[in-house]
Structure 1
Amino acid sequence: MAKDGDKSEWKEFVWNPRTREFLGRTASSWGLIFLFYLVFYIFLAGLFALTMYVMLQTLDDHKPTWQDRLSTPGLVIRPHADETFEIVYTIQETESWDMYAQTLDKFLSAYNNTVQAQKNHQCTPDQYFQQEDSGDVKNNPKRSCQFNRTMLEICSGLQDRYYGYQDGRPCIIIKLNRVIGLLPGKDGQAPFVTCGPKKDDADKIGELAYFPENGTFNLMYYPYYGKKAQVNYSQPLVAIKFLNITLNEDVNIECKIHANNIPTGSERDKFAGRVSFKLRINTVF
């Protein structure tokens, strides 16, 4: 009998026909609760939408309001295999280095002189190409300066389609990562790249040649205004050609950016402004 009583009480709690209550509440009570939460969540949604609307009015589609990137941009090399930053091949085995030449061909295709002439502007060298807005009038899209592939000379792939890999004198391309608004160098001193050996490899690296001359990133390619504002921007490049590097040995190399207003390395990132990679060129005797 106790079990029947418990069952009866449970059924009555779910639906009480005498008081017409469902789960202990009348229809009007449930209606008021539903109405309260409906109004409450509509209010929250409206408050959220208003907050987002106000915030979006402060944003510029072409320029970030805040940047948390390092003030010192990083360096990147081309070619490189995956994320290993190692270039290893055997001179006599074409298949071991052909992928590097193909990677450079693909990368440099956007720098063909004809492509640059169609998209970009011939700028005045050795001075910043600044394109400021006029108050609320946005100067967009902004123009970009030409960086022609021929500026890399014997590392352009035009004179030597194999970029020197076939004779053990390879070319490496270096670019400086983009940072919106960065003005590298001051008082007309353009930033430049140097490469040298790491650890005990000083006698292995041999002579280097830089293109453009002195490994310089000309000031006319700065500042960078962002992907949306400067859609045709072509990052300046520096090519390094290894003229007589030691064969059949690992050579650890580090390249750095030098500018009188850009420190290399920091507490946040000791690799800021530099890149390291290993180069090994084997030969079959």
Structure 2
Amino acid sequence: MGAHKQNGEINYCRRPPDRPFLQKIKYALWNPEEGKVLGRTPHRWGVIGLIYLVMYICIIIFFSICMTGLLYTMDEKIPYFQLADSIIGDNPGMGHRPLIFEEGALIWYIKGNKTQYQKYIDNLNEFLLPYENKSMLINKGVNQIDCPNELRPPRDEVCAFDVTKIGACTKDTDYGYSGDKPCFVIKLNKLYGFKPDYYDTLEDLPEDIPQHIRDYMTEHTAPEERRKVWVSCAGERGADRDALGDLKYYPHPGFSQSYFPYDNTAGYLSPLVFVEMQNPGRRQILNIRCRAWAKNIRYSESLKNRLGSTHLEIMID
């Protein structure tokens, strides 16, 4: 603590006077002898405040210039990094519903016990709400159109998914959970700019592709009906495959070309495939894996690094 001498010099080495503890606190807050507040005179506080004010104004100006330059180079709809250059990569993932996150991938209920399977019905109802009610979408779905020819719609328009063509997997039937044929939904995750390389001819199909896809392509010969990202589900192990039984796919076993590529157009909803279990085995966990088929969708059977597929488990007591 410094003190002024009579000749105007400052003595910085003078020992501060001894004061009682409370008086030290009082003098630390306000020193009437030297006119200091918290150890500094009002003039010094003013200088420090001015320095910090100028410094923060400069920081704000520099930050604003950087953010303006960054936002000028970005597009709200188009990602700067896409496909292989992005963190997500160029291989789309898959998902399924119902999905109760607290329970993971397991769907378990006792046959006929509505209290137990009602949560799966509610989960599906919530998931399908934007598909049934366009007002839930940001743009109210004004640009959704029907795509009966399964062709890509014009720019700024998207294909609507027809929830009336999902067979017996409807809200009126409790999606099969009230009976013996429960349903689940398969979806392909949105991946900006992904263009599937389709298996659109029988000659192109890989040897291990399921028979139901071959049958569908045999029955539907129009090129636009064959350009789909095919979907198949099967038991993961031999015991699962034996107990899983037959499956039906609605509205067809794949995602139509009319939904690709995804370009972040408002009103877009991912295409769905409803899978109905015809005669699932009871009192055992059925491990099911559903995968997508396209020439440029990589598939891995690894449980740790799953590619091009989704896993779920169903147990009906």
TM-score range, shorter chain: 0.7 to 0.9
| Counterpart contact for 1:125–1:219, Cα < 8 Å | no
1:56 aligns with 2:71: yes
Question: For 1:82, which of 91, 101, 107 is the aligned residue?
Answer: 101
1:98 aligns with 2:118: yes
List alignment gaps of at least 5 residues for structure 1.
132-141
Distance 2:158 2:142 in 1: 11
Percent identical residues: 29
Question: For 2:176, which of 157, 164, 168 is the aligned residue?
Answer: 164
1:208 aligns with 2:208: no
Residue 134 (structure 1) aligns with: none
Higher relative contact order (CA 8 A, sep 6+): 1
| Counterpart contact for 1:129–1:223, Cα < 8 Å | no
Compared CA separation, residues 44 and 194, structure 1 to 2 (3 A): same
Compared CA separation, residues 266 and 162, structure 1 to 2 (3 A): closer
Equivalent positions of 1:16-31 (< 5 A) are none
Aligned residues: 260
Letter matched to residue 273 of structure 1:
G
Letter matched to residue 88 of structure 2:
R
1:255 aligns with 2:293: no
Letter matched to residue 152 of structure 1:
I
TM-score computed with the length of structure 2 as normaliser? 0.69
Compared CA separation, residues 35 and 193, structure 1 to 2 (3 A): same
| Counterpart contact for 1:130–1:222, Cα < 8 Å | no
Equivalent positions of 1:59-74 (< 5 A) are 59-66=74-81, 67-74=86-93
Distance 1:39 1:194 in 2: 65
SS in 2 for 1:162: helix
1:134-163 CA-to-partner distances (Å, cap 9, x unmatched) read xxxxxxxx21102101221222345xx222
1:224 aligns with 2:262: yes
Superposition deviation, residue 79 in structure 1: 1.4
Superposition deviation, residue 253 in structure 1: 0.8
Letter matched to residue 122 of structure 1:
D
TM-score computed with the length of structure 1 as normaliser? 0.75
Residue 139 (structure 1) aligns with: none
| Counterpart contact for 1:113–1:148, Cα < 8 Å | no
| Counterpart contact for 2:100–2:123, Cα < 8 Å | no
| Counterpart contact for 2:229–2:255, Cα < 8 Å | yes
Residue 157 (structure 2) aligns with: 143
Superposition deviation, residue 15 in structure 1: 6.8
Equivalent positions of 1:88-127 (< 5 A) are 88-112=108-132, 120-123=144-147, 125-127=149-151
SS in 2 for 1:152: coil
1:43-65 CA-to-partner distances (Å, cap 9, x unmatched) read 22211111111111112122222
Give the greater-gyration-radius structure (CA): 2
Letter matched to residue 180 of structure 2:
G
1:192 aligns with 2:227: no
Distance 1:223 1:177 in 2: 12
